[in-house]
Chains A and B, each alone.
Chain A
């Protein structure tokens, strides 16, 4: 396979996607970096000037900035926690012999295919609405005061919606990994006298390690950029209570028309994502080696 001809051809075949992604990565990033040192407001586009690190300073001293970073971490961490633990539990349950396995799987996987704005609207209106939502109906049934979720617990509400979207993904992947666990291994462990708990800790969990890594990696990629769910439900509020970094940059750029400030925020987001990516990539790289 490895003759000189095939090698040259291989390079040619790879060129389009590599070049496209290279341009796609470098050009906008370079522009963002450039804008981040400019005083540039879309409302006053004729008046652009170099401001050095002012935009960064502005962002850095803004209290909303720290809150948004915290909120980003809470969303990523909270959703990962719920989906991984919940996913393992449900996968263990589905791994048992049950009637109607196929339908149960279809029901559980469904939320993953629901587009984010729809998921957010369903939860906002059908489930968590303080007047007409199902949760309010339940509260009223038991004689409690309905809760205005998005006003009182905005961040939690968003974590809940996003976790609902990603729980199926985690479950399905963990279930697949679980089903590839060698039945003879389980039987050997049983012969060795391991009870359910021990089997789970020493056999099942290590076997799932790779799948859990993959779940965390892929979800993190998407969770760092949660946007539509916030836009549709709380619009980042009240105040900045449910604004994550992505949403803050959007607010600065397209609501505040502040190109320089938004770009500085963008660069900070890139740095942050790179820190996360660094650790994740190492974990994945190891796993892909096999």
Chain B
């Protein structure tokens, strides 16, 4: 049987793949196109060619102050990710390099806290946030997302760290490196790639978290998730402006996502699929 790939086969597969890809991408594409239309154009029926106005973007900023929720999203997602990393790096480190018989159980238990349905603790969390004055505060949301994503961060880091050979650390110890020097000269340079992709993926997860961010914020600390959800009952017709707001809400993370797609699989499957 000839194994050479025929051009015909490749062309057929290419056409099929592009059709599938375009169908899947279409809702995003059409949103971007609509954001460049005028409002009357936007509801005038199907059309892929916009008049190319940027007015909607300007309106979203001037009328609804897009920049404020955007900054909230940045602060909360980056802040919670860094906080989670600070807490998780030592633990993942210990589990990867000084594993005990219970290490695996601890890891599984951490993951199982992710299985706890968020709504189950909505009431106490809501009441605690209310009583501590954390409702609608950036600090409250940052702490919340830190806790939510902590298990995933520990897991991701653990799978990256586990691949650093333990003998290298032992070599450093034999070479006279103290704990601090071991961390600075040997561990950190070897761990940075794994930490970086964990950081990237976790920012994406935190940016898109849409239960606590919506429920625990109203106006001041509302990130983009809550900002967009507030458009759910359109008063009057504003398809084009909604599209502009949506595009702005997803664009940063979409681009970040494209860059991180290589590490995405590894990270999100905790190294189980590479």
Contacts and interface: CB of A to CB of B under 8 A. Distances in A.
Does chain A touch chain B in the assembled complex, meaning CB atoms less than 8 Å apart? yes
A246 B117 contact: yes
A21 B148 CA distance: 9
A123 interface: yes
Interface in B1-58: 1, 3, 5, 9-11, 13-14, 16-18, 20-22, 24-25, 27-28, 30-31, 34, 42-43, 45-46
Nearest to B226: A117
A288 interface: yes
For the residues of B in contact with A, the DSSP-based class is: helix
A173 interface: yes
A221 B119 contact: no
B132 to A, nearest CB: 13
Interface residues of B, number: 100
Nearest to B272: A214
Interface residues of A, number: 111
A186 B213 CA distance: 48
Contacts of A270: 116-117, 120
A190 B1 contact: yes
A14 B95 contact: yes
Nearest to B144: A24
Contacts of A90: 20
B45 A288 contact: no
Nearest to B13: A96
B54 to A, nearest CB: 19
Q: Residue among B93, B214, B273 with the most chain A CB within 10 A?
A: B273
Contacts of B228: 115, 117-118, 121, 232
Given A108-B24, A122-B31, A249 B119 contact: yes
Contacts of A105: 261
A132 B119 contact: no
Given A164-B27, A172-B265, A115 B210 contact: yes
Interface string B52-86: 00000000000000000000000000000000000
